[in-house]
Structure 1
Amino acid sequence: MVLARLPQAPSALVAPPSAPVDPAAALALARSQIDYAGSQDDPRFLGYAQATLAPLLQSSPSSEASLLMARIEQQRHQFARARHRLIRLLEQSPNQGQAWLMLANIDRVQGRLDEAQQACRKAATTLPPTTVLLCQASVQAISGQRDQAYNTLQALASSPAAPQGESARWLATLSAEIAMQQGNLDRASQHLQHALQQAPQAPYLRYLQSDLWLALGQPDAVISDLAAWQDRDGALLRLAIAGQRLGHPQAKTWRQDYRARMAMDQNTGRQRHLREHARFMLEVENDPQTALTLARENWQQQRELADLRLLHAAASAAGDQSALAKLQTFLDRYNVADAQLSQPVRGAAQ
């Protein structure tokens, strides 16, 4: 059974039969492969990059080789490995600002918000102030300072020191996410359009746009935007959700194709898509109990707002009061403010 047809890889990104012997060439190739994996949502290139880096990681790896390998592990959601590698690197070279930034992101994703803020502060010794501010705002948004973080970002965007390039895209994306968190979907759409103008093919932004359209009740827009991306798991999930809501003629096909992707992940032991699989079971298959099982497993690794919202929705649909109470504990500990969770979690202990 053909599950997907993958695009031909650019020849410049395919490693030659023998790995480059020049460390600089190997690092450059691995960096390009990792960037391509992210830009195309194609995990094959993470494997290529790992093979490219392998000779450089055998003994006394350089800081750049360690950072690149940590990026691979982070993108594969192997957070414990990436975190261990970064901590080991920082013990040897504490002024590695990029390593602190990556560590802050991993700690934020995994719900270690105090540690994430500390890592952002330590990054300030070597990274530009705007980068550190963005790092801190990403943590503040989920730890009781949502509105303050948003106001700080808007002040930065309109200042003479407004960031450029990737940092500008990060600012616009983070602004969109916080606006969604505030419940202001129109303002979120404006920020997201600004980010998409800078990177119209970025998978994360396209998926965020689709989630915003679904929240606005515009599943037809999702189908128009992602119909050509059916080979990508994230796009196929959103097509299945939108198709079901619309009663689209291809809804059954998208549903069956995503089921096949889930089965493939389970057969190979790959667990990169637990959040997406849980969402599929909840929103497409209408199986809240299985969705809750997957969401709980995902929660052990990822504790971003999307993970919190999904676990809340699955636990509510399944009527699991214990899970709801544990979620309320997390909300209370970090004073999480989110429009989708503006009321006390149903069934939680008061």
Structure 2
Amino acid sequence: MSSRSRITATVLVTFAAGVAMAGDPYLPEDDEVLQTLPVAVLAGQSEVADLRRRLLKEPEDADLAAQVANAYVQLGKQGGGPRYYGYARAAIEPWWDESAPPAEILRVRAKLKETDHEYAAALEDIETLLQSRPRDSQAWIEAVNLHRVQGDYDAAWVACDQLSEFAEGVARVFCRVPLLAVTGGAEEAAGLIEQALPITKEKLPAVAPWLLTQQAETARALGRDDVAERAYREGLALDTNDGFLKRAYADFLLDRDRADEVAAMLGDDLSDNGYLLAAAIAARQTGDTARAAELRRELADRFRETRLRGDLPHGRFEARFALELEDNPQRALELALANWDRQKEARDTRNVLEAALAAQQPVAAAEAIGFLKEAGTQDVALQRLVEQLVEQLEAKP
């Protein structure tokens, strides 16, 4: 593999994590007892332990600290839970408040801020990095991602165009696909994915699960469930620990009254709050009230602990918790709107629409509906909700 291909692989693996790594990081104690973890995480711990021992001897080595932090980020992404983001933060703590730390510290610091939903602060770090490395593909991809998550599609396209001035074709495709999917170009995105999949599987296999997730989500939005199903399954066959993919497929199954399959897919691995939420909703859908109540209490405890640490739970998860597990549409609407102010991905917008509909407050969804129309977003699930909200509004005296 050429050096450029290795760089592109790194870029896209990092981009694939996206907001899928969302969690609530904290600084753990060194002697904290670890919960039951997926096999991939347990295997990775021995590798990062060696790096960590080296860092203890050389705590001022920025490159080594960034390497340790990135290793922990990957463990967190593989299902280890938010504590691994805390370990990553601890590794780069000496540089956390510096305005211009080394480039690799900036990169991983931005990723950690992103996991904590501090998107503006993460973008500042990426922009600082780009001042010294204007042809850094990975940094441009991160900039695109951060703009897109916040719903600033114009800025995301500008960053994507700047990347396209020097990056190779495959990087341009991966930059464009997520943006096209939400700005009226879902059909074009689907075509680009189809073209890119063969070379991705051959040359960049680590990125294939991410691209398959994009294929699945684009097909789902277009109402092509058969294509979506195949892509979800193929992606999971390649990487059973991809958190974003598992959460997306769980939602797909729940929407189609296939809750039993959600429980089977997730198994006992509920370390991720998104997994726990999906498992609780699945238990409720299947009528297992005792299991649903148990999981609901556990998730409520996690949210409470997060607040006790001075952080906020992920609004996307907490809004769904309020609506689908606590039957509190008003609270769900408040949480969904607060979360939508920070991030505007499809699931965040859907939370606003569903909560407004359940609370019988269609006007509360007006800004989200306007956002979808302005962007030209194509999504059959969102469109159905918009139509229901319009009907609800028209029926009001």
Which residue of structure 1 lines up, in the alignment, with residue 390 of structure 2? 347
- Aligned 1:26-175 pairs, distance under 5 A: 26-56=65-95, 58=98, 60-158=100-198, 164-175=204-215
Alpha-carbon contact 1:172-1:194 (below 8 Å) kept: yes
Aligned to 1:211, the other structure's residue is in SS state helix
| Equivalent-residue separation in structure 2 for 1:243 and 1:7 (angstroms) | 21
Alpha-carbon contact 2:315-2:338 (below 8 Å) kept: yes
Greater displacement, 216-225 / 87-96: 87-96
| Equivalent-residue separation in structure 1 for 2:200 and 2:35 (angstroms) | 44
| Equivalent-residue separation in structure 2 for 1:222 and 1:161 (angstroms) | 27
Going from structure 1 to structure 2, the CA distance change for 1:47 and 1:262 (only over 3 Å counts) comes to closer
**Residue 197 (str. 1) matches residue 240 (str. 2):** no
Q: AA paired with 1:39?
A: Q
Deviation of 1:31 after TM superposition, in Å, equals 1.7
Going from structure 1 to structure 2, the CA distance change for 1:91 and 1:25 (only over 3 Å counts) comes to closer
Per-residue Cα deviation, 1:116-147 (whole angstroms, up to 9, x for no partner): 11111222345432122111110011011111
Deviation of 1:258 after TM superposition, in Å, equals 1.4
Going from structure 1 to structure 2, the CA distance change for 1:29 and 1:123 (only over 3 Å counts) comes to same
Which residue of structure 1 lines up, in the alignment, with residue 368 of structure 2? 327
| Equivalent-residue separation in structure 2 for 1:231 and 1:160 (angstroms) | 30
Per-residue Cα deviation, 1:220-257 (whole angstroms, up to 9, x for no partner): 11112223113331111111101111111412211221
Alpha-carbon contact 1:113-1:139 (below 8 Å) kept: yes
Per-residue Cα deviation, 1:50-89 (whole angstroms, up to 9, x for no partner): 2222335647422122111111111221111101111122
| Equivalent-residue separation in structure 2 for 1:18 and 1:328 (angstroms) | 54
Which residue of structure 1 lines up, in the alignment, with residue 270 of structure 2? 230
| Equivalent-residue separation in structure 1 for 2:366 and 2:280 (angstroms) | 31
**Residue 269 (str. 1) matches residue 310 (str. 2):** yes
Alpha-carbon contact 2:307-2:313 (below 8 Å) kept: no
Unaligned runs of 5+ in 2: 1-32
Aligned to 2:321, the other structure's residue is in SS state helix
Structure number with the higher helix fraction is 2
Aligned residues: 347
Going from structure 1 to structure 2, the CA distance change for 1:236 and 1:340 (only over 3 Å counts) comes to same
| Equivalent-residue separation in structure 1 for 2:200 and 2:169 (angstroms) | 13
- Aligned 1:2-21 pairs, distance under 5 A: 6-7=35-36, 10-14=45-49, 15-16=52-53, 17=56, 20-21=59-60
Unaligned runs of 5+ in 1: none
Q: AA paired with 2:235?
A: A
Deviation of 1:27 after TM superposition, in Å, equals 2.6
Alpha-carbon contact 2:100-2:128 (below 8 Å) kept: no
Q: AA paired with 1:194?
A: E
TM-score under structure 2 length normalisation? 0.81
Going from structure 1 to structure 2, the CA distance change for 1:46 and 1:113 (only over 3 Å counts) comes to same
Alpha-carbon contact 2:173-2:196 (below 8 Å) kept: no
Aligned sequence identity (%) = 28
Per-residue Cα deviation, 1:138-168 (whole angstroms, up to 9, x for no partner): 0011011111111221122256997522332
| Equivalent-residue separation in structure 2 for 1:161 and 1:240 (angstroms) | 34
TM-score under structure 1 length normalisation? 0.91
Aligned with residue 210 of structure 1, among 240, 247, 250: 250
| Equivalent-residue separation in structure 2 for 1:157 and 1:318 (angstroms) | 42
Aligned to 1:111, the other structure's residue is in SS state coil
